[in-house]
Structure 1
Amino acid sequence: MASTSFIVEGMHCGACTGRVERALQAEAGVTLAAANLMARSVRVEFEAPARAETLAEALARAGYPIAEAETCLGFDAPPPADRVVSALQATPGVLSVLLLPEGSARVTYAQGTVAPSELLRRLDAIDVPARVIRATAAPAPVAERQAAEAARLKRQVLLSALLTAPVFFLAMGPHLYPPLHHLLARLIGEDGMQAVQFVFTTLVLAFPGRVFLRLGLPALFRLAPEMNSLVALGALAAWGYSALVVLVPQILPPGTVDVYFEAAAVIVTLILLGRWLEARAKGQAGEAISRLVALRPATARVQRPEGTIELPVEELAPGDLVDLAPGGRVAVDGIITEGHGFVDESMLTGEPVPVGKAPGQPVTGGTVNGTSALVFRVTATGADTVLSRIIALVEAAQGQKLPVQALVDRVTRVFVPVVMALSTLTFAVWVALGQGLAPALVAAISVMIIACPCAMGLATPVSILVGTGRGAELGLLFRRGDALQRLAEVRTLAFDKTGTLTEGRPALTDLFVLPGQTEAEILRLAAGAEARSEHPLARAVVQAAEAAGIAPARARKVIATPGRGLSAEVEGRPILLGNAAALVEAGIDPAPLQPTAEVFAQDGKTPVLVALDGAPVAVLALADPPKAHATDAVAALTRAGVAVAMISGDVAATAEAVGRQLGISRVIAGVLPAGKVAALEEMKRAGAVAFVGDGINDAPALAAADVGLALGSGTDVAIEAAEVVIVGADPRGAVRAVALSKAVMRNIRQNLFWAFAYNAALIPVAMGVLVPFGGPGLSPMLAAAAMSLSSVFVVTNALRLRRAAA
């Protein structure tokens, strides 16, 4: 199975993305085609007989040619032609390979899918050395392309406005100020005014408005009309009728020789203005990705035998030692080798508190160093870094379609032909009712313009774009865009316990000593014995002593008994740590410690009894403590109307105790991975279920849930099985994910309601349904303004998501 992406600049609306996808899906071998309106791209998965060049040809036939790039490769010796062509054509994205007589090869490929260095590696693999002679520049990032599009549209708007101003003045000025009409009639005459309007309107259509003709008319001829077709037909109809009035007025019936040049010119200007405002808003919508990209520094200071040198980040390699100055931004992922300090990882986790770093601890590219100088060893570069993977995940999610988009696609597919039919019907009815040729034409044009489905096509993708970008800022990575919709429908959210709601490592929580003993002394002696053990509970005792500044005593004759405990000799004194059975077997009565041990056990803690010199002296309580904000996360989900459950492989007493601490009433304990899946299936009877986990044993449950959320601190297996990745280890990320998904779906519903209701309400007005009752009609100029404002409203409404789930 091969996969590639094409840049398709000709996509302008939801109908366009549907046609692009259908054109590709009609090709044999294509298994997936997903168009991204915001990025003007389409991702294709395919197998034989489909090839990149046949897919590009299919898009060209559909009227959506892809952006191409070209690289010229040179060889030091005549290459084996067949092997070179086969190797290069096997590269996903390569469209054609042409060997030239002078010993070079011209490779044409889909822009953005292949780098010249990849072509060289393909040839190196078959032992054919080559070099790049000439290459097309790499495609600009999406944000830069959007900024360039906005700048181009701004120039078109200004030019169109300058050319339209005289037309609007001559057509509307006399209506606003009647004496002006007499003045203009004396100066240039009626024919002169019409001629000036003709010239300037023709210039508007020929230059800034040419985009509508260039895209809309071919689509019309292919019997696949789209929004540009509606604008082109409306503007051309107004211009063509008016041109006949100016050039051959004798062919028209008396009383119908009015001109409507201002309608054609103003339509183009207003729709270009709307597209410019929309493009600016799209640029703001994609700011999250732009900010992530901007986090990558351009250079880094690398240690070399001859000294420290500054290198471009692209030239760093795993193993390089990089100096990180105070306040500097980490270039790539690595491991600290020298220095102690704090690093601001808020770009990664959303948490503002800097994280302490010491030798052996990881740092992530894009994070910011504090006030200490550090040195780190590079572990990942390029696309392998955490930041690059985050950007790739967000961009992929932004190109996904939500299930709700299927309805929009079906509507927009038939909407344009229906609008054209309604426009034709309006013209015919007005003429049949004797209202006159010119008014009938105006009404038909108004219907065509007001009904452009731009807002419908934008309603869903722009909300996904902003929502997933906001998620990245909050440390939420939606690996699949449709998880946004399904997460908003979740009725129950189930957590794994260990490592998700709890810290995932045992800690000493309580220390009870009998009279005559001191806590510090017991901890010193116990830590000395446990220091020789690798058991997790033993490590917890040692770490508690170290945290208290207590040096463990020296121990010898350490003997560990599975299921019982550990015995040793510490500073000549026998010590025993274990359960009650271990003390009984050693002939020691545990009764003085039993009541306290039972209280600890009821609280979900593991009691460890301590006997010293053959007598019971203390009880250590060890537990996996809940995370700092786990209780807050459970309470917030409950307030939001989401039922919370906990599924754990731990024993029932411990799991239920943790559940009581966190306020979770539904606890399912003692289950293996398969049991977690079965528990989720049972929960699904009450509605959609999400599962939050972090370990390898959570992967089946993450995949089985309607939505799987993996903590980014967990294993790669868990992350790969989940639809949503919560960067870091904070369970409140699940709360943010639910809140963000609900905000996105609410925003999409608002956008769709506006787009559909707007068209449903104004199409009859444009058709003139209210005119017989003394109501208003709708002029083409007002129709163009309303249509543009509708798209701007949808995009602006989506931008509110930039503050969601704060």
Structure 2
Amino acid sequence: MTNQDILQQPVTRVIELDIEGMTCASCVGRIERKLGRLDGVNASVNLPLESAAVTVPSGITDQQIIDTVNATGYTARLKTHGIIAVPIPDTPQEGRPADDHGQIRRGRKPDTLLLRLIVAIVLTIPVVLIAMVPPLHFPNWGWVIGALTLPVWAWSAWPFHRAAAINARHLASTMDTLVSIGITAAFLFSTYTLVSNPELTADPEHAGEVPLYYEVTAIVATFLLLGRYLERRAKEKAGDALKALLGLGAKDATVIRDGAEVKLPIEDLVHGDIFIVRPGEKIATDGVVTEGHGAVDASLITGESLPIEVVPGDAVTGATINTDGRLLVRATRVGSETTLAQMGRLVSQAQSGKARIARLADRISSVFVPIVLGIAVLSFILWAAVAGDVRGGFVAAVTVLIIACPCALGLATPTAMLTGSGRAAQLGILIKGPQILEDTRTVNTVLLDKTGTVTTGKLAVGRIITLGSLGEEEGLHLAGSVEAASEHPIARAIAAAAAARAPLSPVNAFRSAAGGGVRGSVNGTLVVAGKARWLEENGIFPSAAHRARLREEQATGATAIWVAVDGNVECIINLQDSVKDGSAAAIAKLKELGLRPILLTGDNAAVAATVAATVGISAEDVFADVLPEGKVDAVKKLQASGAIVAMVGDGVNDAAALAQADLGIAMGSGTDVAIEAADLTVMGSELAQVATAIELSRKTLSTIKANLFWAFFYNAIGIPVAALGLLNPIIAGAAMAFSSVLVVGNSLRLRRFRK
């Protein structure tokens, strides 16, 4: 693609909306279809969060999006903190309240739903007792229960009527349409019967069943209000994990300005500020330690329990806790740039997205309500025309309308995703989107980068084997000076060892080759350090004796590199890398999950074999001496053999392989490039978190499937039974309310997931 082509690409942004008035999957489908008719607009609506993530091209304004949603019959507001393409404002807008995280929120409204429910319960109890217990009948009792039912139908159930009317105005229908029609039909039929036959309940001794259905109206409305209230409470709990995540941040910081300590609100902190973190305090924002030593508890972010020792030069993350020592930290990221804010944004994006499996529910919901209305009408006609039972037909039709609620379908996926991704964030795992859940189910092979993933990645110089005229000190000094210009873990280890003995010398004409080595001029001498292949590319060829000595070092499981000065091989530097404590247990867990672990490394075969044997990976599942570009080839080779590959890595040289893999998993201790290329990120550095991430992802997907099964099963069984007249409308109302609560409750079980 040329630069001109890039310039001609449409510029898009992603905005988030708060949407009021949605009640079921049909509402979700309507909004998505309406927005999808705008050229270049793509929307993903989340029912439990009452929000939408909308991809908008440059030619369409935010107001057009809001107006489109409003014209559909709902109320939309721009969620300022949800804008992904631009920095998040750190201060609330004038006249609008902000929560503790600097995020704009709507003003609190009185809990009218609870009030409507209480009124319905108070009035429904006497209606049920009078209507269903003959000894409680008194003269004209029908008029009394009709009067008691009127407020329940007209006021308590008003949210159903209002939503049905709004949708009807737009020639659409939702779950509220079914509920409103059902309870209205029962109420109006009862009122018509009573008015046309006033003597029907005049005599309390009247024998036989009285064709009044006021108790159906009252009980069904009450059950549905109760279900909606419990559902709302459950959905709030489902979002607790995200709220807890966003609430981790510090509220203020002690900043050094003009030589004095000043305590400032966190939103006043700016890039470059030096702030103080005392023992027991939260680190205000992402930064770098400039002075002091301490132990930082990062479990709230990474999920790892052990504190991390930090010294000057180490990076620290906002919201983690300094458990020991006084630290001075220079702020490097503030506001929306912080790790915590990015985690919250990623979790929110994941929760707003949709897995492929969820689209099935959306497609069904879009045609579900009209089909149910047709079934209700058909039931009435068949009962009245074929069976000659108008009353039976009426009851069957009302029962079909009441039980056939697509609400459970609409809640099946997003509530599980909301709970699962929130719980994952608490464990230091970020899932970039719901489609990732389905990818974890199919993965059968895990490709593990060795350094920094299976091993600590913290190499240390073990010993120096001299092969020429230079001594150990001089050989290490020259190698360390040229390696200091590189960011590779091996280079950092050699530079650190050399710097600990003497100040390093400046390097000129520096050059490096990924996975090969480095070259540069130090004090007028040409220093080449790296693998044999790199030395040969620079015209240096170690002797057979020297190669044999290198193999001896590699046989010990160490990483060994050549150092040549002015064309002559002078020494071999032996470096040791230790296997992480939990790697063997993590490999065993991956195998337990049905995955095949494969070790991938640029190190030699001897080192790779030693590490593989230590952690329990078979010898045939080791790819050694792999160059950075070879990692992509390794992924492709496995994919060509039929494997579904997950790649785990943490470095810049892993980014391409992470993107190529069917599922890319980045270790959060790695580089931003690797994290950006991955589908799933574990914020810690322990391999066990990878197994936890896959297990939780699969558990979330299985919960979604279970929810969808019960939602479909409930309707598949309930509607035919109702149409055959085998179900009481009261039981139907209770079942409908219970189905939604059941789906949400099943999703909430993910909150108890443990590592």
TM-score (norm: length of structure 2): 0.83
- Partner Cα distance (2:392, 2:722) in 1: 12
2:3 — aligned with what?
A: none
**Structure 2 counterpart SS, 1:740:** helix
Pair 1:359–1:428, CA change in 2 (3 A): same
Range 500-509 or range 712-721, more displaced: 500-509
How far has the Cα of 1:173 moved from its partner? Answer: 3.0
Output the amino acid matched with 1:12.
T
- Partner Cα distance (2:481, 2:435) in 1: 51
**Structure 2 counterpart SS, 1:494:** strand
**Structure 1 counterpart SS, 2:444:** strand
- Partner Cα distance (2:494, 2:333) in 1: 36
**Structure 2 counterpart SS, 1:404:** helix
**Structure 2 counterpart SS, 1:236:** helix
Residues 44-94 of structure 1: per-residue CA shift (max 9 Å, x gap): 222265333333332223222313xxxxxxxxxxxxxxxxxxxxxxxxx6x
1:227 — aligned with what?
A: 175
Pair 1:256–1:58, CA change in 2 (3 A): farther
- Partner Cα distance (2:313, 2:495) in 1: 20
**Structure 1 counterpart SS, 2:739:** helix
**Structure 2 counterpart SS, 1:30:** coil
**Structure 2 counterpart SS, 1:45:** strand
CA contact (8 A) 1:111 1:139 kept: no
Pick aligned residue for 1:757 from 702, 713, 721: 713
Pair 1:301–1:161, CA change in 2 (3 A): same
Does 2:65 match 1:55? yes
- Partner Cα distance (1:354, 1:233) in 2: 60
**Structure 2 counterpart SS, 1:331:** coil
After superposition, the CA RMSD in angstroms is 4.3
Pick aligned residue for 1:788 from 714, 737, 741: 737
Output the amino acid matched with 2:738.
L
- Partner Cα distance (1:420, 1:633) in 2: 54
- Partner Cα distance (2:450, 2:120) in 1: 63
- Partner Cα distance (1:210, 1:444) in 2: 21
Does 2:128 match 1:168? yes
Pair 1:552–1:51, CA change in 2 (3 A): closer
1:38 — aligned with what?
A: 48
Alignment of 1:542-691 (within 5 A): 552=501, 598-607=551-560, 621-662=574-615, 663-664=617-618, 665-685=620-640, 686-691=642-647
**Structure 1 counterpart SS, 2:664:** strand
Pair 1:273–1:565, CA change in 2 (3 A): closer
Does 2:47 match 1:17? no
Range 432-441 or range 637-646, more displaced: 432-441
Report how many aligned residue pairs link the two structures: 704
**Structure 1 counterpart SS, 2:356:** coil
How far has the Cα of 1:788 moved from its partner? Answer: 1.0
CA contact (8 A) 1:147 1:280 kept: no
- Partner Cα distance (1:669, 1:740) in 2: 31
CA contact (8 A) 1:712 1:725 kept: yes
Pair 1:328–1:136, CA change in 2 (3 A): closer
- Partner Cα distance (2:695, 2:116) in 1: 40
**Structure 2 counterpart SS, 1:8:** strand
Pick aligned residue for 1:798 from 732, 747, 752: 747
2:143 — aligned with what?
A: 195
- Partner Cα distance (1:505, 1:133) in 2: 46
Does 2:258 match 1:298? no
Pick aligned residue for 1:735 from 667, 686, 691: 691
Residues 74-127 of structure 1: per-residue CA shift (max 9 Å, x gap): xxxxxxxxxxxxxxxxxxx6xxxxxxxxxxxxxxxx776789x99999xxxxxx
How far has the Cα of 1:652 moved from its partner? Answer: 4.4
- Partner Cα distance (2:655, 2:31) in 1: 35
CA contact (8 A) 1:408 1:457 kept: yes
2:525 — aligned with what?
A: none
CA contact (8 A) 2:463 2:574 kept: yes
CA contact (8 A) 2:601 2:624 kept: yes
CA contact (8 A) 1:337 1:359 kept: yes
Pair 1:146–1:355, CA change in 2 (3 A): farther
CA contact (8 A) 1:696 1:715 kept: yes
Pick aligned residue for 1:372 from 325, 335, 342: 325
- Partner Cα distance (1:594, 1:636) in 2: 39
**Structure 2 counterpart SS, 1:238:** helix
**Structure 1 counterpart SS, 2:332:** strand
- Partner Cα distance (1:149, 1:467) in 2: 28
Pick aligned residue for 2:656 from 695, 700, 703: 700
CA contact (8 A) 1:18 1:409 kept: yes
Does 2:238 match 1:282? no
2:204 — aligned with what?
A: none
- Partner Cα distance (1:459, 1:364) in 2: 35
**Structure 2 counterpart SS, 1:327:** coil
Pair 1:411–1:603, CA change in 2 (3 A): farther
How far has the Cα of 1:656 moved from its partner? Answer: 4.3
1:155 — aligned with what?
A: 115
Does 2:410 match 1:400? no
Output the amino acid matched with 1:166.
P
Alignment of 1:305-384 (within 5 A): 305=258, 307-384=260-337
- Partner Cα distance (1:608, 1:119) in 2: 47
- Partner Cα distance (2:115, 2:601) in 1: 61
Residues 483-529 of structure 1: per-residue CA shift (max 9 Å, x gap): 1111121111112233333333432457999xxxxxxxx99998788
How far has the Cα of 1:443 moved from its partner? Answer: 1.7
How far has the Cα of 1:751 moved from its partner? Answer: 1.0
CA contact (8 A) 1:335 1:362 kept: yes
**Structure 2 counterpart SS, 1:756:** helix
- Partner Cα distance (2:87, 2:343) in 1: 23
- Partner Cα distance (1:580, 1:383) in 2: 46
Output the amino acid matched with 2:25.
G
- Partner Cα distance (2:181, 2:150) in 1: 15
Bigger RCO of structures 1 and 2 (CA < 8 A, at least 6 apart): 2
1:125 — aligned with what?
A: none
Residues 326-363 of structure 1: per-residue CA shift (max 9 Å, x gap): 21122222222332221110011101111112222222
CA contact (8 A) 1:524 1:553 kept: no
Pair 1:486–1:542, CA change in 2 (3 A): closer
CA contact (8 A) 1:525 1:553 kept: no
How far has the Cα of 1:654 moved from its partner? Answer: 4.0
1:246 — aligned with what?
A: 194
How far has the Cα of 1:608 moved from its partner? Answer: 7.4
CA contact (8 A) 1:525 1:552 kept: no
Pair 1:316–1:7, CA change in 2 (3 A): same
How far has the Cα of 1:678 moved from its partner? Answer: 3.1
TM-score (norm: length of structure 1): 0.78
Higher radius of gyration, 1 or 2: 1
CA contact (8 A) 1:527 1:553 kept: no
Output the amino acid matched with 2:417.
I
2:9 — aligned with what?
A: none
